[in-house]
Amino acid sequence: MIINITDKIFSNKILDIISNDFDMDFKSMQKEKMEKMVIPAFFKTAFHCPNCGAYAKQEWLWAAGKRDSKGSYYYDVDDNISFARCEHCNKYSIWREKKMIFPYSGTVPLPNKDMPEDVKMDYNEARNIVELSPRGASALLRLAIQKLCKYFGEPGMNLNNNIANLVKKGLPPKMQKALDSVRVIGNNAVHPGVIDIKDDIETAKKLFAFINIITDVMITQPNEIDKFYNEKIPDAIKGQINKRDGK
């Protein structure tokens, strides 16, 4: 039996089913995204590896020095130096007095996989120096969002104007606040003013999270919605939706 897909009752049922499936699948995608990064911490058995970014079990090891005492050798464990080996990538993080000293980017999340490559380069460079120079990292992140604005179709020269234009185009208010936070703090890093982040590592680290959030909301989520829509919604239903919206 052939059912006419333009039949109103049938179409409404199909649309309801598709809508429910969309809600369930999209909520599932969002649940995965909301899983927070488990920050590396001393003697924690599992966290997101600062080398590969995977959530993995960590094997803890301690440094030991070989000493000679009256002709006999013994090993003296140095409690101040320890190592955590990631079971996913087999690379080590190094800890001194319960604080990570390598890699320098230890507690900063890896860049969003959908971040444009030129933005990602600045992000990673900032990530590598944030523990040594929060101010330098903040300045690099300001450059990163300038490049993000260019990716979104703005000239990129005047960052304040770029953000204002994006607001006019419908930029979500929360994203405007995130962009302006990176812009203002990054500006103060280069031209010291009211905000001084010379030794404020935690404020600098927040900016990394903001850039990942901006990338997720403005790039990753739209891509996932488009992919879902294109793969799951039948062409006939898409035609009805386009007709409804006057396309």
Per-domain residue ranges of the chain: 1-37+109-247, 40-105
First to last CA, the chain: 31
The arithmetic mean of pLDDT across residues 72-96, rounded, is 82
**Separation of alpha carbons 152 and 222, rounded Å:** 13
Percent of the chain with pLDDT over 90: 24
Residues in Cβ contact with 50 at an 8 Å cutoff, skipping those fewer than 6 apart: 40, 93, 100, 103, 105, 106, 107
Query: Which of 179, 161, 165 shows the shortest CA–CA distance to 217?
Result: 179
**Separation of alpha carbons 4 and 179, rounded Å:** 49
The pLDDT confidence band at residue 150, using thresholds 50, 70 and 90, is: very high
Q: Tell me the pTM.
A: 0.66
